[in-house]
Structure formats: structure tokens, C-alpha cells
Structure 1
């Protein structure tokens, strides 16, 4: 079950102080400890607490049905009176639309969706752009004889994608990745599967093992905590993987010997910026879109394997990044556009 767990950024743990900027955090289902999306949001509020007089309280919904109640509990609180509620994940959208209207004096921010209200700052990302970059890399490497760390490529030009749940947001990751692979070579095969869960490493491992056994050299995941199973599978068979949201070669260092790169999504910056706007009394209920150009997403090479990636590949990725930013490459957001 989900619930509210008090975390004081200042003073004694478990006590939120009224003389600081108080922030409520409602995370995406899947919870903290995913070493990915939720943990990046948590890093953002921690960074704000380090920089400013900020105290925060975490709430982790166990199911989507708990989100509305958690939002309401924060908004109704008077001890403390929360200066900002951060709503993490697309599942927050519908409850937040209702709660933003019900509590017009409460400031909210939301990640991965938009709510058109003066008291809601929305932050979305061009995940397809960063996914294009890692797809481009995977497509180039699968055509090469390449070995590094615990992995090596085989003779098949095959790569894979593992999604968490099959929703429009994750389709942006898939579409961008496939477009990037095709940019390297349209004849490369891309295997795709969805785990149906955000926190099921065993399922992620089973899906990825099937892909590797069918010739995949590299598997990219956009599956939250499920993705650690992809890394386990990569180590088991001696192939490669690509992380998501955080630099997972750093957040999951035990898998750094198979993680070529991560498609980092700066959720931490979105959370930090929204809190900073409240601290500076500059909060604006607007939509902020972060892509490659604003460093909202990026292909970050793995801490252990990055130096082994051939210069021809890194130069090609630098060129495709420049072309995307310049508008010369238009990256699709839906697989139907491929």
C-alpha cells in the first residue's frame, strides 16, 4: 500500500518545518528505489533541499487509484501548509485536473503530462530525441565486431526494446529508438516487447533473454525497475544493454560492465526548477518542454564502457544530435509514423 513518509530536509528526520519552503512529493507507481525515474525525481528535491531552505515529504502510491487521495491529503494539510506539490508521472494527470480546480490556491507541478491550469506547472520531455540517439548507437554497434567489459556483439544485426507498460509515453521511447536504429541502417531488425509492469525484474530478464537468444546485441529498456532484469540478462549471455532516465551505469554500478549508455531524462532538473521558482516567488503555471536542445534528455555513455565505444560511433551520434536540434531530423513520437 502507498502512503506518506515524512522526510525532513532540515532538522530532525520525520518533522517538516513551517519556516521553510515545504514540498510534497507524490511519486509514480513503482515507488522509490527504481534507480531510474522516481529516484531522479527524488534527487531533484534533495538537490533543492541542499541548495535552499526546503523540507519535503514523500508519498509513494501503491496503485494509480491512490494518487488522487495522496494529492488531496497534501493540499488539505495545514501543518505544514505545503508551498508546492510535485506530482511525478503521467498517471497523475486526471486526479490533478480535478484537484487543481478544487484547490486553486495550491501550487502543483507535474512531470510527463500537462494540466492546463494557472496553478500547475507542467514538465514534459522529448523522450523520442534521446531514444533516437541511443538507437542510432545500438544500430551502429550491432553491425560491428565490438567487445567491451562483459559483452560482445555477434554476427546478427539485431537489437531490442523492452517497455514497461504499453502507453503513449513509452511509445515515444520505442518510436525514437526504432527511428535511430533505422538511421544507422534500415535493414537492422528491432525486437520489441512490453513487460506490463514497472517493477518486475524477473519479467524484464525473461524478455531480454529471449531477445538475446534470438540474436540481439543490444537491448534498450524504458521499464522502470523492471529494467534491472534486462541488465541481468545482458550479463548472463555476454551482450549489451542501454539504461533509461538516470545514468544507470552509475545508479546500478553492478551492471556497469554491460551498460553502453543511458537515455538520461532530467526529471531531477524539472523538480529542482519548479521548487526554485517557488523559492524565488516566480512560479508560473505553464508547460515546459525539455529535449536535446535544452539538455532535458541526453545519451550519456556508460561509466565503464563509454571510453571503449569507437570514435566513429561517437562522432556519428554528435552529428545526429546536431541535426535533431537543428530540425534537420524530425523524430517520430509514434510507431505508426515509422
Structure 2
């Protein structure tokens, strides 16, 4: 995420992005689910896909609406406009808070009295000197109080303090933005989350008071609500593009997505999924092969995994995948599996 450090002046003020801007119109779109998405994490042979990615790509849904509003504004009052939906150096959450849409919660996302933690944000920049709205009294300010439900819900302890997020530990970052192997010390905590994570958002008590009714065009597709891990592991590039057409998931690419699926398979505890992981040992992507090694080390008996390593590890040319084999063999050794090494303990059994 080096882009965050690029040209920080663009984030310091809207004028750093567009010097001519005089006002910003902030808008929110509800994408709240009908049920608690955390229930999907209990189905270990299935994949948990973040709520926002189960329907059409929100960029493609919201941006045309912003453009329509912007065209109306220009036709009505003149001036020039630019629209943004999470696509530029726009600090949407502080701007939305200043506009009265809600407040930034301890999980760093916007919280609304009307929609809880489930809001997409969009911005219309204009050269018109529009008078600012005064935030309504019940929307401005921080209404989190002493609650820390969102912080405690994070599987990877990605919040070092309230209102601070360590992206390096965030499951959404790890499964979407992170390009290499997922750090081994965080893989178990990922569970079956193959794209993003909703835990901190879903834990927010303000969701209980949110208005029902998710935007229809953002409705979840049935095939993405809890797809089978075994099926997802088989996706080649063409099948990946077909399944996730018009969704946000397509931007992560097939290799990173299947990497995530294999981590979820390793966390499933289901030995019947070992075959799906073993089929990826010959994958063209080193990223996928390495994740398959990790998954198999957690699903197979130690002796069977050792035999598998004899057939595959010696011919591996990628250094990161070779490192995965070495770490996996260490993990499956008797001592790591909790078996008693009598000779190492210095005992003489005669």
C-alpha cells in the first residue's frame, strides 16, 4: 500500500487534489446485509466473502449516480465538477463526518445512526461556493462511548488502539491488497475468509438501529454468499473471471484469490478437502503452490505429507515455495505434532 505515502498533500485537503474545488457534496449508499455475515465463518467447508463484494461492484453502481447528480448540479447552477468513489486520494470518511453523515468509529470506518457501519461513500467536488450544511445534532460527534465491540471482534488484533488500524494485520488488506504469501502467523486467524472481513463492522451495536433495505443493485448474488471451497480451488483464470464478473473480487486476480481459498482449506480441518489442495501443487503460480503446501500440512497425516514432499519438494524451483515446504515439514515433524521424542528427552528405555 505504498500509494498511501505518495503525494500526501493530496490527502491533507480537497484542494490538494483539485485546487479549484470550493465545496464537496458527500453521499452514502446503504449495503447492509439482512443477516449477520459472521455466521458464514462457522461453515468451514464454505468461503466467507465480504458483504460488499457479494453483489455488483459498488464503483460501477455508485459512480453513474454521482455523475447524474453532478450533471444536474452543473445544469442547474453551473460550475465544474469531479466525482470520486474510492478511486482517488479523497479522505471520504472525515469529509462524510464533517457533512453530518455519521462519525468515524473505533474501527476507523464511518458509523451512521441510520445505517450503522454499512455505508459506501461517494463525493462530488464542485467549484460552486455551496454553503456547508450543519450536521444534525444526533449525527455529529462520536457516539461510540466506552464500547469496544468492533476492536474485540477482530480475528487478527489489527487495532493497536481505538481509531487506529494496523493494515498489515487486517484480513481485508491481507486477502485483497497483499500480493505475496500471507504471513504464516496470521493464517490460522483468517479462517475461511477468502475476500475481505466483516467482523468489526458486523459487531457494531449501531447496526441494530439501522434502517433495513440494502440497495437493490448491490444485492448479494446467491452463488457468492457461501461458495464451496473445493469449487473455488479449481478456478482457472477464465473461470475466475466468469464467476466474479462485474464484482469487486475480480480486481484481486485469480492467483491471489486461490491463495486465499487454500489458506481457508488449510483452516477447514476437513481432510476431504486435501485433494482440492493437492491439485494445486502443480499450479503455474508459485503463490498458489505455496499456499497449497501450507494447507496440506494441516490436513494430511504426517507420514502421508512426508511422502508427498518426497514427490514434489525436490523439483520445486521457486525459493518461496521451497521455504513453504521446509516450514511445513518442520510443522509435521513428530515434535511439532506433539508426539513424545523419548531419545531427545534423554530417557533410556533399554
Query: TM-score if structure 2 supplies the norm length?
Result: 0.24
**Which structure shows the bigger proportion of residues in helix conformation?**
2
Q: Which protein shows a greater Rg?
A: 2
